[in-house]
Amino acid sequence: MLRWVRQQLGFDPPHQSDTRTIYIANRFPQHGHYVPQKFADNRIVSSKYTVWNFVPKNLFEQFRRVANFYFLIIFLVQLMIDTPTSPITSGLPLFFVITVTAIKQGYEDWLRHKADNEVNGAPVYVVRSGGLVKTRSKNIRVGDIVRVAKDETFPVDLVLLSSDRVDGSCHVTTASLDGETNLKTHVAVPETAVLQSVANLDKLVAVIECQQPEADLYRFVGRITVSQQTEEIVRPLGPESLLLRGARLKNTKEIFGVAVYTGMETKMALNYKSKSQKRSAVEKSMNSFLIIYLIILLFEAILSTILKYAWQAEEKWDEPWYNEKTEHERNSSKILRFISDFLAFLVLYNFIIPISLYVTVEMQKFLGSFFIGWDLDLYHEETNQRAQVNTSDLNEELGQVEYVFTDKTGTLTENEMQFRECSINGIKYQEVNGKLTPEGFSEDSPDGNIHSLMKEEELFLKAVCLCHTVQINADQTDSADAPWHANGIASPLEYYASSPDEKALVEAASRVGVVFTGTTGDSMEVKSLGKPERYKLLHVLEFDPNRRRMSVIVESPSGEKLLFTKGAESSILPRSKSGEIDKTRVHVDEFALKGLRTLCVAYRRFTPEEYQEIGKRLHEARTALQQREERLADVFNFIERDLELLGATGVEDKLQDKVQETIEALRLAGIKVWVLTGDKHETAVSVSLSCGHFHRTMNILELVQHKSDSTCAEQLRQLAKRIKEDHVIQHGLVVDGTSLSLALREHEKLFMEVCKNCSAVLCCRMAPLQKAKVVRLLKTSPEKPITLAIGDGANDVSMIQEAHVGIGIMGKEGRQAVRNSDYAIARFKFLSKLLFVHGHFYYIRIATLVQYFFYKNVCFITPQFLYQFFCLFSQQTLYDSVYLTLYNICFTSLPVLIYSLFEQHVHPHVLQSKPVLYRDISKNAHLGFKPFLYWTILGFFHAFVFFYGSYLLMGEDTSLLGNGQMFGNWTFGTLVFTVMVITVTMKMALETHFWTWINHFVTWGSIVFYFIFSLFYGGIIWPFLHTQDMYFVFVQLLSSGSAWFAIILIVVACLFIDVVKKVLYRHLQPTSTEKAQMYSNRVALSDEFIALQPLSRARNQLSKISLLRQVQVSTAWTPCAASQMGKQHAHLLEECWND
């Protein structure tokens, strides 16, 4: 219980050691001074709150917001001193906002608790006391032996002990962890693999030593010590031995494993940790505006306090006959009275700060984000994937992007690899009719002839078939002896691979006669022209990004020990000592120029002595608990040397649909595109040219293959000079990873200057962290541009998290990018709709929402300030307390919320077909100081018109009632409030361009609701109210024809100037967006527009429409419109406009 309390409070001490020792089946040593280690239980906690901490934790988080904290202070002031308004006026809106937010967050957390309970309560089987015991998942402890059956998910991180297979192997899929659907093979150590029964496992005496928990899914370092009779056998444990929580068991009847990481220490749970909070530019502007309004509030409160005391300097006003002071008031401290009056004025004017702004913005972002998921133009039918929103806080940021950083493979390309060419022993080959044909030869022989392979060709293809991590569909592994075609090729096997390159190469080898038919135990089976061969797999030297290669050591049927290696040419060619190295290098460059992805293949023969030395070194490195990665890297480098080059492969990755048009549209929108890829220089340039990132007319500048600071700096200076000299033409820059490291080390400013003057930048041979560094470099530059990163693989995650907006592509490289992104789309082409339409709309909506909120609160509170000049600054309130409370909550809240969800100021198809309109909203144009100043001045102007218009029309001794009765102060205040509610609602209506029935309902409904509420509130004596100053006031006001005239006149006077300003600006200085609005109105009119024309003109318009329906859309249009109908509309629009 005590430990649970400590965990809840966050006091549980961290692990002291770098490693943990796990006694299998919890058989702790009986001798010595053994102190058992403390491990987490197996509960998964994704929830944020508990029953005990919800209220304090949620309140603390909410009151960290400036506006909420400010209103709390105002509420407390109202409770402590005598203020002109009731504490309810501040307390009720604050309570409403806090309650709505708490309910939303509480409901979301309740759903998380519900999901946690389902997971924690799932039934599992563990080995205890010689038998299988059924228990709940949350009860599993570190050291327990757990049984998992086929198609079940692993409840904890397990080290595999045995399976139903003799070799102790099993297959799993990690789709829920990283999105990879291929089957991965995991193996048990030989000593435990034979223990396939519960009785045998219960007798196992073994200890596991492994690293403490870490989030990396692909890293695990440990060793197992098995006690057998008198000896202890030590075996290394790596990622191939670890079964991760959340992964699913496939093609295996059952497995037994020992729990090593439980609950929140599992790798899946450690990857839950939230990303750093990204804040949009709009939110930052909002906070700045709040500070300005706080200054205005303080100014008004201080001015009112000073004027009160200036006025009371005259004796007749200090203590008039009708308001004599008490003895206590006369003797009180003047300083205390001044502070008290200042706080009272602060309370009186406090509504200038819009408390409901935050909750409205939150609702707008949350509800508005659904439109992205619902957009069918962002739905990819082939993969049945629709866009998803992981972070709704950044919707408006999609309309502010200035730089796009994109990956190449899987983002611009399909990541569907097709084998095209290869180079074997210095000769180029192509695949023709299922046969390898040297370049220049034609293959006319019929398929029925058996095609023989030369020794070099066969060895190259065997290397391709053996050096990989490809799996075969389990249903086919048993039918490997299926009928063979006449040319010796088996009917196609279904391969699974985590790398599309490997799959394409193995499939190509099978088509030309060397077929990988699967693995059995530690053997790999290959059929060469129908002849089966079995190679014993001795060691796998796994691929890693630093080495950029992978290797296998196998024993051939003749007993020879062979190393087969494949990888990037930069990592293979320097390690090769024989073979056609120069010719292969030329061929690799030729493949790259064609845009093909290249790999080099090499091998090495080992003598028995060499192999013995290698085996010893590998075992030592793999059983090391400290610095295992570094030791393995050293051993791998020792093994992968003195290679004999076999050849190279060229695999094509075709471009995605409409990539070129999308990049061109981004360029027209004023967005600069940078391509960051790990591919080699020539391949990257070729793809950049083919996708339109580089133009053929563009001057390509290069900063590549620099080894020293001095040469890199000199080249940068020369590039900067060339750009200045040739400033008329467009430039494109190519930079590689090594040169980039040098440039960022000492010459960052010069490098940035060169980059900013280039229209397009291509960075090749980039490591994942280098991608993030480049994004950070631009992001933190003096201009502070808004950046967007888009990618599909795990190597893009750091870049996606670093950028202001991160977008994941639902590609074939897993789901790491999608899980870590803010938004996810199925194809790169959807980026144009996401930015030009959704981004544009979201930004316009929220910019108007924020400024309108400040405007309507200035309108609301300024008459209160002006009224003090007429009541001797006595802090008399102009409005009734109920009106003060409900103004922001009920009377004016819905029209702006609905506007912020549905507004479309320009037709979506026009926005997408005219990317240049995106420039109108760039650099936070609608939330800058000028628009803010305009809305603020407009608010003050309208407030003056409300107050003085009502005052002039109801001036002294003016009777507005038929019976000669006079209006009182509450009637005057109600008149001002009525005019204000109608005006601010009509102002919202003026800003609305896209009207739906919902807009009509909430706009006119808000005004009607105000009138109905006021009639009920003032027409009935409510027993629960202490005073009812408003009794019959509203009814009396509406019974006056003069009051109705005043309301209409003041509303028209307020809005007339606004309408005139809009009309004049639209006709004299229209912006691109305003032109597009007039332009898109023609589309909205459609047939009605044509019907109003003279008959001859209507015929002409109709003939154009029918012609448009028959012909294809002109290539001059950027084909990033969401649909063909949208393009036709746009064409019709242009024709009508030109006429």
Token pair for 59: 């309140």
Token pair for 555: 């024993």
490, 784, 786 from 750: Cα distances, Å: 59, 17, 21
Q: Which among 948, 979, 972, 971 is positioned nearest to 1055, based on CA atoms?
A: 979
Q: Report the distance separating Cα 317 and Cα 310, nearest Å.
A: 10
Q: Report the distance separating Cα 406 and Cα 790, nearest Å.
A: 5
101, 107, 355, 357, 360 from 68: Cα distances, Å: 11, 21, 7, 10, 13
- Helix, strand or coil for residue 1035? helix
Q: Which residues of 478-510 are buried (b: 16+ CB within 10 A; e: fewer)?
A: eebeeeeeebbbbeebebbbbbbbbbbbbbbbb
For the stretch 606-615, contacts whose Cβ atoms lie closer than 8 Å and that sit 24 or more positions apart, written own/partner, are 606/553, 606/561, 606/562, 606/563, 608/561, 610/561, 611/553, 611/561, 614/539, 614/553, 614/638, 614/639, 615/538, 615/539
- The one-letter amino acid code at 841 reads F
Cα 83 versus chain centre, distance:
48
| Catalytic residue of the set 157, 375, 407, 792 | 407
Q: Which residues contact 116 (CB under 8 A, 6 or more apart)?
A: 43, 44, 45, 46, 47
Beta strands at 427-432 and 435-438: parallel, antiparallel or unpaired? antiparallel
Q: Report the distance separating Cα 663 and Cα 679, nearest Å.
A: 20
Q: Compute how many other C-beta atoms are within 10 angstroms of the C-beta atom of residue 29.
A: 9
Token pair for 116: 């946690």
- Output DSSP code: residue 241: G
User: Residue 407 catalytic?
Assistant: yes
Q: Which residues contact 830 (CB under 8 A, 6 or more apart)?
A: 377, 378, 380, 387
Strand partners, 539: 553
What is the maximum alpha-carbon separation in the chain?
Answer: 123
Within 13 Å, how many C-alpha atoms sit on residue 215's CB side?
A: 7
Q: Residues for the chain: how many in total?
A: 1139
Class of residue 639 by CB neighbours under 10 A (exposed 0-12, middle 13-18, buried 19+): buried
| Residue 1055 zone, left/alpha/beta (φ > 0; ψ -120 to 50; rest) | alpha
Q: Report the distance separating Cα 874 and Cα 871, nearest Å.
A: 6
Helix axes 929-953, 1041-1068, angle to 10 degrees: 150
Task: Sheet containing 169-173: give its strands across.
Answer: 184-187, 169-173, 248-250
Q: Report the distance separating Cα 931 and Cα 937, nearest Å.
A: 10
Within 13 Å, how many C-alpha atoms sit on residue 800's CB side?
A: 27
- Output DSSP code: residue 1056: H
- Which residues does the annotation mark as catalytic? 407
